[in-house]
Amino acid sequence: MKCVGVISNLTKDVNGKRTHDVVAKLLVRGFEVFVSNKVSDIIKIGTPCDEAFIYKRVDLLISLGGDGTLLAVARKAAEHGIPVLGLNLGRLGFLTEIEIADADMAFDSLTNGEYTVEKRMMLKVDLKGKDGRTESFTALNDVAVAKASFARIIHLKAYINGELVNFYPADGLLVSSPTGSTAYSLSAGGPIITPHMECMLLTPICPHSLNIRPIVTDCKSDIRIEIVDKNRDVLLTVDGQEGTSLFEGDIVIVGKFEYYTKLVRIGHRNFYKVLRAKLSERLFENDDLK
The catalytic residues are 67
Cβ–Cβ contacts within 10 Å for residue 182, how many? 23
Rg (CA), the chain: 20
For residues 282 and 290, give the distance between their C-alpha atoms in angstroms, rounded to a whole number. Answer: 16
Q: 240-260: buried (b, 16+ CB within 10 Å) or exposed (e) per residue?
A: beebeebbeebbbbbbbbebb
CB burial class (10 A; 0-12, 13-18, 19+) of residue 283?
exposed
DSSP letter, residue 184: H
Four-CA torsion 136, 138, 143, 147, nearest 10 degrees: -40
Indicate the pairing of strand 154-160 with strand 163-170. Answer: antiparallel
Task: At 18, give phi and psi (nearest 5°).
Answer: -70, -35
